[in-house]
Amino acid sequence: MATLPSITLSPSSSSSLQPYYIYSSLPTFSPKHTLDHHPCRFRSPRQRLSSKAVPRGLRLRSAATKPARTPAEEDWKIKREYLLQKKVRSVDVKEALRLQKENNFVILDVRPEAEFKEAHPPGAINVQIYRLIKEWTAWDIARRAAFAFFGIFSGTEENPEFMKTVESKLDKEAKIIVACSSGGTMKPTQNLPEGQQSRSLIAAYLLVLNGYTHVFHLEGGLYTWFKEDLPTVSEE
């Protein structure tokens, strides 16, 4: 008699902390050929459970199927090449302040709303690119479990309203400097030959992908802005 498969939830090693499932079957014996005087067959625990081993009418389906990949989830190499192709420039914090004052650039702060309210450059606009996981589908529960495995109990997900919100606040010709906490970089180094991805670079990628033509990126992020003691306001 065939035994049911075991299901193991294993956290992914990717930055998005998205879980995946490993299906393995316990040792099973098939009496199918005993009528022809053949010995029972033994299935290795490493062998995948095939549809032939499942009783008729029973089919296994993952309760938490991952949705299709979004543009923000593209490989960093692809995003970086596109940013360079579209000539997205990185500027340091002092240059960003000058552009904001003299050239009507807008700082688009893509950090979570709570961080923005705590401190941000004057005149900055906040549209968070990631938000706390809100839904309770099987996939969302699995992601929460993966975050919890690493001791993170406030997991985030891509904000599906990001571009829609940006477009409601900034037109396609706006001059934008995208900022987040760390900033990331497109500059290659010995340890990071393709630079370092960040929320602001992902946001910049989405902007140029959707037709924005004057997009800059804040090198060093708002961490450096605050460290340099540049103008800051809060909304407490």
Judged against a pLDDT cut of 80, whether residue 34 lies above it is answered with: no
3-state secondary structure of 190: coil
- How confident is the model at residue 221, as a pLDDT? 96
Distance linking the first and last C-alpha atoms of the chain: 65
Whole-number Cα distances in Å, 235 to 117, 120, 121, 224, 230: 5, 9, 11, 20, 17
- How confident is the model at residue 198, as a pLDDT? 93
- How confident is the model at residue 161, as a pLDDT? 93
Instruction: Region of 221 please: left (phi>0), alpha (psi -120 to 50) or beta.
Output: left
pLDDT > 90 fraction of the chain, expressed in percent and rounded: 51
Active-site annotation holder among 110, 129, 177, 180: 180
Q: Which of 14-18, 46-50, 183-187 has the lowest mean pLDDT?
A: 14-18
What does the pLDDT look like over 135-176, one tens digit per residue? Answer: 556 655 665 565 555 454 455 677 889 999 999 999 999 999
What does the pLDDT look like over 197-228, one tens digit per residue? Answer: 999 999 999 999 999 999 999 999 999 999 99
Is 180 considered catalytic here?
yes
d(CA 137, CA 141): 6
Cβ atoms of 35 and 92 closer than 8 Å: no
